[in-house]
Amino acid sequence: MSASLRTPTVPTAPPPHDAPGAATALLEAYRPGTDRFLATPRHTLLGSGTTAPVPHDSRPLTLRVQEVLDAARRAGGPVPVVMGSVPFAPGGEAALAVPETVRRATALREDPLVALHGPDVDRSADWRIREVPAAQEYSDAVAAAVQRMRAGEFDKVVLARTLELTSARDLDLPAMLSRLARRDPDGYTFAVPSGPGRTLVGASPELLVARRGGRLVANPLAGSAQRSNDLAEDVRRAAALLDSPKDLHEHAVVVDAIREALAPFCVSLDVPERPTLVRTAAMWHLSTTLTGELRDPSSTALDLASALHPTPAVCGTPTDVARQVIADSEPFDRGAYTGMVGWQDADGDGDWVVTIRCAEAEGRTLRLFAGAGVVAESSPAAETAETAAKFRTFLSAVGAAL
């Protein structure tokens, strides 16, 4: 009896970074726990393993990150990259590390395969949903903040609420990530470890700041409207947002704060006079793109991001007062929510994104976050409805509904 012959298995090389399918291949290769995934309108990154975590101590985060990157560079190889997230709270522990390997591809939006149907939502999943706080409690907190602002105590605060989703089965994070990325390929999709046994996953529409050599770009979003499935109504809502005094004021507060924070870093800083619109699958947002030329080429992307964080778009103004109102009003710890997530290389280039439209996964539980900017003209019912609309980004990715 002759022995059967088997064709040897030959490992398949990954496609070139700019080949059709390269970006979606990285999306499909993501594995929770060990990998860090980030897709931006410029490129797609997948970091695997950990060469060196960024330590947590009393030194400035920018210094700790640069020391880890410089040490990795001295070890040889390609220009090292740090990836991960930074929390909302000042002095909180960042979840940043230099991966063992980093694979790159073009932007997901430029990959024709991203338009193909992704993993199906499991409609049989039985999610148990708990609101923290309940919608009425959140509305009451908004009303209390509005009353204080009308009395002149402060100008703006961003109040958030959460949904805790618990499943009877293990969470399929790669499938959730794929659905988020395919739903909004023009945005910033991410999945990174956020602590022992925890993963931060989401699809943010908002770039905090990016640095490329001697240039920077910031793209604050503030002022929002829920989209409609009816085309005429959707256009009406977009036009109304562009003419809304309340939303234009909220947006101007954020842009002015970012201009003030970035100006010392820049030889020149271009700030458009009026906002434009950015859309996601669920929301319209007022958007302004600021561009600048750096005064000091040693200023890194994280230097710039740290000078901006937190912006009035996620905290409020004055910052210290808004932080206290948040602490007094929100019955939960924000953690990574409204912090920043992204990457930076040893040359100082990188992208840092505002951590919104996200959830933190732990065990069989997902904690979803959504917030709304509250000013003196705000309506508690409208702000509560806005948070419900923002939850839709993630709820649709897991097949759940309020």
Which residues are marked as active site?
Answer: 156, 206
Q: Measured between alpha carbons, how far is 233 from 238 in angstroms, rounded to an integer? A: 9
* Residues 84-99: b if buried by 16+ CB within 10 A, e if exposed: bbbbbbeebbbbbbbb
| Cβ-defined contacts of 303-306 (< 8 Å, 24+) | 303/62, 303/265, 303/348, 304/209, 304/211, 304/216, 304/218, 304/262, 304/265, 304/352, 305/86, 305/208, 305/209, 305/340, 305/342, 305/352, 306/60, 306/61, 306/62
Could you tell me if 23 and 41 are in contact, meaning their C-beta atoms sit under 8 angstroms apart?
Answer: no
| Amino acid type, 119 | P
CA distances from 222 to 290, 342, 378 (A): 14, 20, 13
CB 194 within 8 A of CB 366: no
**Radius of gyration of the chain measured on its C-alpha atoms:** 21
CA 92 – CA 287 distance, rounded (Å): 29
